[in-house]
Structure 1
């Protein structure tokens, strides 16, 4: 396994370089001038030229790319054009809200998805199975922005149980921070639960048809032991894959939900950076998302060996 891990870590380097290449040229070739955004429409030509020189935007694109690449290798993503602060510091401060939402969303999604998936598989072709299929289709089909608006209207506007938007950390208000996490987490968990329920049901239906399940039934094992100890455990590989992918999406920044609920996470940061043409921040957000996907995919692959000892890494 050690050699496999080393190979996968070494493969991260060319992948990140390719992502950096794409991120740099896409952001620099986008329409619009960040200097004009900063100075406004009434800036003089001399002011524009002076700021371009200060930001290094007057240099050829290829030179700017290699200068930028050498900087990010050292962990320096430059300074935000709009916020005038180190991008790495800004991104680090925005990770915590996104991480908290991702944790709670994944937790709610796992509880709902695994429960519905197991119940559906055990009650195949019965009413509980049909209910699970309907719920999963609903979760996958409903747009998250529409569901978030419905939840805001019901629980924040009408019932006034929860805040409409905003975010507070646990260090500031203690357990009161949960009030700001419930609505965005449930919104995201609804889709996660739908995907997890479908995959759990499908994987367990295949496993329940195996010969060793029939053998376990013939030996008189309880239904609970058969379902949880044998069927569910041996169905975990595809389920773990879906869970890992979902968590990567959440950690990468749930841009729309963070914008709707005004949560200062990485997604909200990226949306504002795009609107302001804050190129260094956009580039850092793209690389951050790519890095999250790479690391979580590696962890998911390594978890296969823990779940199924028969899997060997070369």
Structure 2
């Protein structure tokens, strides 16, 4: 196991290098001059030149890339052009809402997806199977941003159960914080539930064809015992893959949802950085998303052995 993890970590180095190279050059080729955005249209040419020198934007692109790469290796993502703080501090200070939204969405999506997936598999080719498939397809098809608007209209505007937007930190508001997160998490969970339900249904139906399931049934075991103890555990490898993949996407992909609900997470930070041409923050957010995705996928690969002891790492 240790040698496998070491090999995987070493294999991730070129991936991170490629992501960093692409991130730097694409963000620096974005249309729009950040200096002009900062100073405004009334700035003189002397002011523009002075600020470019101050920010190091007057240097050739390759020299800026070398300096930026050296800083990345040391864990320094640079300083924001607007926030008067380092990019690392800006991202860390906004991790809480993003992480809570992703965690809640994954939990709700996982529970609903497993429920509908198992229900569909147990009632294969029956009305409940067709109903579960319909619900899962609906979850996959409905855009999260559209569902967010519908949820705001119903539960915030009409019923007034939840706030329309905003966020209060967990340390200040306590459990009241989750009132701000229920609607955005639900909007994201709907799609997660649809994907997980489809994979769960297919995986469990595949296990029903195996000899050990037929043996369990011949022994007279209850259907619930067969599903939970035998079928579901052996079907968990593809399900865990999807759940881990989706969680990594959620942690890095709540950008639109956070913007709709005005939640100050990393997604809202990234959107504002793009609008302002705050290149260091954009680069930092992309690197952060890439590291999250890589880390979660590594943890998912390692977890396979727990659900299926037949899997050996070398």
Task: State if a TM-score over 0.5 links the two structures.
Answer: yes
Which aligned pairs between 1:122-271 and structure 2 lie closer than 5 A? Answer: 122-271=122-271
Aligned to 1:81: 81
Residues 7-16 or 78-87, more deviating = 7-16
Q: CA deviation at 1:14?
A: 1.7
Which aligned pairs between 1:23-42 and structure 2 lie closer than 5 A? Answer: 23-42=23-42
Kept in 2, the 8 Å contact 1:192–1:246? The answer is yes
Q: Does 1:275 align with 2:275?
A: yes
Kept in 2, the 8 Å contact 1:87–1:281? The answer is yes
Q: CA deviation at 1:72?
A: 1.1
In 2, Cα distance between the equivalents of 1:142 and 1:21?
Answer: 35
Residues 304-313 or 42-51, more deviating = 304-313
Q: CA deviation at 1:212?
A: 1.1
In 1, Cα distance between the equivalents of 2:282 and 2:148?
Answer: 25
Aligned to 1:9: 9
In 1, Cα distance between the equivalents of 2:103 and 2:30?
Answer: 34
What does the per-residue CA deviation read over 1:179-238, in whole Å, with 9 as the maximum and x for residues that have no partner? 101100100000000000000001001111211111111111111110111111110000
Q: CA deviation at 1:84?
A: 2.1
Q: CA deviation at 1:111?
A: 1.0
Kept in 2, the 8 Å contact 1:253–1:265? The answer is no
In 1, Cα distance between the equivalents of 2:130 and 2:88?
Answer: 48
Once superposed, which parts of structure 1, at least 4 consecutive aligned residues long, lie more than 2 Å away? none
Q: How many residues align?
A: 314
Q: CA deviation at 1:96?
A: 1.1
Query: What is the Cα-based RMSD across aligned positions, in Å?
Result: 0.8
Q: CA deviation at 1:16?
A: 1.2
What is the SS of the residue equivalent to 1:249? helix
Q: CA deviation at 1:168?
A: 1.2
Aligned to 2:313: 313
Which aligned pairs between 1:91-102 and structure 2 lie closer than 5 A? Answer: 91-102=91-102
Q: CA deviation at 1:32?
A: 0.7
What does the per-residue CA deviation read over 1:132-162, in whole Å, with 9 as the maximum and x for residues that have no partner? 1000000000011110000000000000010
The two structures have a TM-score, normalised by structure 2, of 0.99
Aligned to 1:287: 287
Kept in 2, the 8 Å contact 1:98–1:253? The answer is no
In 2, Cα distance between the equivalents of 1:144 and 1:62?
Answer: 39
In 1, Cα distance between the equivalents of 2:280 and 2:161?
Answer: 39
Q: Which runs of 5+ in 2 are unaligned?
A: none
In 2, Cα distance between the equivalents of 1:253 and 1:212?
Answer: 40
What is the SS of the residue equivalent to 2:181? helix
In 2, Cα distance between the equivalents of 1:191 and 1:224?
Answer: 27
Kept in 1, the 8 Å contact 2:233–2:308? The answer is no
Aligned to 2:65: 65
Kept in 1, the 8 Å contact 2:108–2:186? The answer is yes
In 2, Cα distance between the equivalents of 1:177 and 1:27?
Answer: 34
Q: Which runs of 5+ in 1 are unaligned?
A: none
Kept in 1, the 8 Å contact 2:102–2:251? The answer is yes
In 2, Cα distance between the equivalents of 1:111 and 1:5?
Answer: 30
Q: CA deviation at 1:12?
A: 2.1
What is the SS of the residue equivalent to 1:243? helix
What is the SS of the residue equivalent to 1:163? coil
In 2, Cα distance between the equivalents of 1:230 and 1:309?
Answer: 13
Aligned to 1:121: 121
In 2, Cα distance between the equivalents of 1:13 and 1:226?
Answer: 43
